[in-house]
Structure formats: C-alpha cells, structure tokens
Amino acid sequence: MTSDDRDPVLSALGGLATVAPAGLGERVFAGWLRAPSRLGEVYVAFTGDGVQFVRPAAAVHDDPTAFAAAYRRRFARPLRSADRAPAGLLPALRGRPAGTLRLDLGALTEFERGVLAATRRIPAGETRPYAWVAREAGRPRAVRAAAGVLARNPVPLLVPCHRVVRADGRVGDYMFGPEQKEQLLRGEHAELDLLAGYARRGVHFLGSDSTGIVCYPTCHNARRISAAHRREFRTVAGAVAAGYRPCHTCRPVSA
C-alpha cells in the first residue's frame, strides 16, 4: 500500500496533515532565566500562570542544568530559556513587590498555598511567628507543618518566608541559612535586636493604652506607640483580659 497521487482518497488524506499552533510550546515548557536579587543571582522558572520556582545560583552550583534538575524533581516539566521576565518579577526580586507579579502555586496543596498566601501578606520590615502563619492558613495547631511548608518554599523572596521567625526572638532557620535570613531582615530594617530584647523579657506583644489595641512589636501600628503609652504583654489573652483588642492589621495570636 503506497500513497498514490492519482488516488483522490489518498491525496485527500495526505492533505489533512496540519501544523502545531504557535502556543503549543508554552503549554509544554516552563521558561527559565537568571536575574539579580537580594540573595545574589537567582534562577527563576515560570509558566504562563506565574512564577513557580526561585533558587539562588549559589544553591545550584551556578549551573542551569542543576537548576533544571532540581525543578524537574519537583515539577516534572521541561524548562527552556526565556528572554523576557514575567511582569513584576525583577523589581520583586530586588525587594520592591509589584501587584502585577503572579505566582503559579498550582502544584501545591491547599494548606501549602494557605501558608504561602499568609506569608506573602507580611510587610517588609515586619516579622510574624510560625504560630501566626499556621493560624492564618486555617490550621492554628499545625505550627510545625507550617514551618515545614516554609522550609520548602518554592518562591523565596517573592513569598518572604524570611519574615517568619521564632517566638523566642531568634530568627530561626532559613532554607539558605540563618545568616542570610538575618541579613535580609536587617536589609529591610526589621528591628531584630529590639524584638530579641522584648522576647528575653517574655514580651511578645505591645499595646497602646490610648487606643486600647495590642499588636506584634514589629507591626507598623505598634511602632507608632510612644514610650509613655506602650504596655507590654506576654500573651494576647493577657492583653484582652486587660481590656485590649487585637490589632486588625497584624492579627496577633499567642504562640
């Protein structure tokens, strides 16, 4: 059976072959590029839905092949180099978050997405304890699980997991080492020494006796309290018992 140009059926069948639409590659591949960031040079992978994966070049031996292998283990998808960064990525990597930046967290569970969404809301220069993240993600008792999710954060910097710290005043672990975490926090003017000083004295919350509101010490509302009106609390419950209401901005929760 060979194809025969004089056979109208065969030549009609031959005419049915078609070509792939231009967008097919985008459905198959995620794009990658290398960009400067607050963690030094990073590799970034993204799909049409948003950024999926960020790793410092140093963490993958400065080797795009090692980055692709790490990405593949996690996302089971091929990468190809991209020449354009998604909207908002480059400023966000340098510490200027843009509303246009989209993240593709579709490969994660609902709890993981909840943890990352809560963490993403922590403003620069502020910190929250792990218990806060767990509560915000809807599972107040899953504090260790929330810490585990942050330790595997696919998009560090873009979801600022470095702003989640221990309740005892220490910065705690970070996927790229505690020194990096401290450096990032100091770079955005988080008052780590003050926070540690409070924690040593068992103080985890600050209230204003003029507004009657209690906050985390790094909340911008707490930072405006003058020394004369500042009241110190060990627990939120203690503050509530003293007639204070938890801040609607930082939504404090006892560890």
Partner 1 sequence: MDMPAEQLPTALVVDLDTGFVELVREYENLVYSVARRLSRRAEDAEDLAADTFLRAFRALSGYDAARIHQLRLRPWLLTILRNTARNAARDAGRRPDPPPSFEPVEEPATGPSVEELVVAGQTGREWDALLRRLPERQRLAVLLRHVEGLPTAEVAQVLGCPEGTAKSHISRGLQTLRALLTTTPTAEETVR
Binding site for partner 1 (CB under 8 A): 1, 3, 8-10, 12-21, 23-25, 27-29, 65, 68, 72, 76-80
Cβ distance to partner 1 smaller for residue 80 or 121: 80
Write out the E strands in 112-169.
128-129, 164-165
CA gap 49, 34 in Å, rounded: 19
Cβ distance to partner 1 smaller for residue 6 or 248: 6
Cβ distance to partner 1 smaller for residue 27 or 248: 27
Beta carbon of residue 147, minimum distance to partner 1 (angstroms, whole number): 30
Contacts of 42-45 with CB under 8 Å at 24 or more apart are 42/93, 42/157, 43/67, 44/85, 44/89, 44/93, 45/71, 45/75, 45/79
Query: Which structure tokens are listed for 61?
Result: 């031996």
DSSP-derived secondary structure for 221-251: HHHT--GGGEEEES-HHHHHHTT-EE-TTT-
Query: Which structure tokens are listed for 19?
Result: 């070509």
Q: Length of the chain in residues, anyone?
A: 255
Q: Which of 161, 215, 219, 250 is catalytic?
A: 161
Beta carbon of residue 66, minimum distance to partner 1 (angstroms, whole number): 11
CA gap 51, 89 in Å, rounded: 8
**Number of other residues whose CB lies within 10 A of the CB of residue 218:** 24
Active site residue 215: no
Cβ distance to partner 1 smaller for residue 62 or 179: 62
Give the residue numbers marked as catalytic.
161
